[in-house]
Amino acid sequence: MGTAEHTLGSDDPHYSWDNSLAPKLTIDPGDTVTIHSRDAGDGWITPDTTFEDLEKPREFKGHALTGPIAIRGAEPGDTLAIDVLALQPGDFGYTSFMPGRGLLPDDFTGRYLQKWDLTRDPAAFRPGIAIPLEPFLGVMGTALAEAGQHSTSPPRANGGNADVKQLLVGSTVYLPVFVEGALFSCGDGHAAQGDGEVCITAIETSMTSTLRFNLIKGWQVPELQFRTPPLTPRTNTGSWYATTGHNPDLLEACRIAVRHMIDYLGRVHGLSREDAYILCSVAVDLKVSEVVDAPNWLVSAFLPDAIFVA
């Protein structure tokens, strides 16, 4: 077992899952790597970005990922175990949405952008509302067995764009090894997120992550599995307000619950529909409450009262 410490910069990211990529770093099981990663948009949105800038055509190549990292001795059929030791978000973050995407693709007609100052924690949103920072990596994954370039956008058996907000410092992430060396990459740093990431972005930011890599030989998880520390301790400190949505389709039930939450945030807290949608994406947790009583399933949208400050 290794105990070496390494650093890997973000100066040469890649934008797809591709098992032909040469590793940027090769380590032993037990080694620790401090990894610098760009935000998912590869620095496109900055503190100076305007709404007019958002209207300019831009092709999304994929999440800007740092890696791959090869782990000596990793073979198909093994499991990569990654301990999340430290996560430091950048000083700037953003949340944005546009028509045609996200959970409510037809509910909004224009683009919207929220910029975040992450030098202060909690990060201010609107008067009386601030979001505690609970950083995590939205994308962690090993190379796929299939040759060629594969989009980073959907979650996959290799992990990928899972956006699991509970993968905080203290988590252990288990990923299947499909190719020799595992070829791990990561990126898509989030300073905070609600379960569901409903508007399609969280608080997007760059990230400095310290990860320790171990190898479980001869046993393979079928896809991402993980162990967490106590769940979201910064927001789970008091009461919650929840709206629900019922429907025979789970996705539509999610939409209904979020629409009810947007209405609630406007009525009770005076937020515009756009601000309420942003807040749902960065702080509201969707939960599948019930799936056994056909024809309707129930989804709940939980809003933490901890974000409302004096």
Last residue of one domain, picked from the residues 227, 255, 290? 227
Q: What is the pTM of this model?
A: 0.95
- How many angstroms separate the Cα of 67 from the Cα of each of 20, 111, 131, 268, 283? 12, 32, 30, 45, 29
Q: What is the pLDDT along the chain (310 residues), one digit of tens a residue?
A: 679 999 999 999 999 999 999 999 999 999 999 999 999 999 999 999 988 888 777 778 899 999 999 999 999 999 999 999 999 999 999 999 999 999 999 999 989 999 999 999 999 999 999 999 999 999 999 999 999 999 999 999 999 999 999 999 999 999 999 999 999 999 999 999 999 999 999 999 999 999 999 999 999 999 999 999 988 889 988 999 999 999 999 999 999 999 999 999 999 999 999 999 999 999 999 999 999 999 999 999 999 999 998 6
Give buried/exposed letters for 23-46 (b at 16+ CB in 10 A, else e): bbbebebebbbbbbbbbbbbebbe
Q: What is the DSSP letter of 8?
A: E
What does the alpha-carbon distance between residue 262 and residue 279 come to, in Å, rounded to a whole number?
9
User: Which residue type, as a one-letter code, is found at position 8?
Assistant: L
Q: Do residue 199 and residue 286 come from a single domain? A: no
For residue 290, the enclosing domain spans 240-307
Coil vs helix vs strand at 234: coil
Nearest to 279 by CA among 243, 249, 231, 247: 243
Q: Do residue 261 and residue 219 come from a single domain? A: no
The total number of structural domains in the chain stands at: 2
Q: Do residue 52 and residue 173 come from a single domain? A: yes
The domain that contains 258 carries what CATH number? 3.10.28.20
Q: Do residue 218 and residue 244 come from a single domain? A: no
Coil vs helix vs strand at 165: coil
The domain that contains 138 carries what CATH number? 2.60.120.580
Structure tokens of 219? 């046993």
What does the alpha-carbon distance between residue 90 and residue 67 come to, in Å, rounded to a whole number?
19
Q: Do residue 223 and residue 244 come from a single domain? A: no
Give buried/exposed letters for 165-198 (b at 16+ CB in 10 A, else e): bebbbebbbbbbbbbbbbbbbbbbbbbbbbbbbb
Last residue of one domain, picked from the residues 171, 198, 227? 227
Residue 232 belongs to some domain of the structure: no
Q: Do residue 259 and residue 135 come from a single domain? A: no
Residue 235 belongs to some domain of the structure: no
Residue 234 belongs to some domain of the structure: no
Q: Do residue 114 and residue 199 come from a single domain? A: yes
- Bridging pattern class, strands 65-71 and 25-27: parallel
Q: Do residue 95 and residue 194 come from a single domain? A: yes
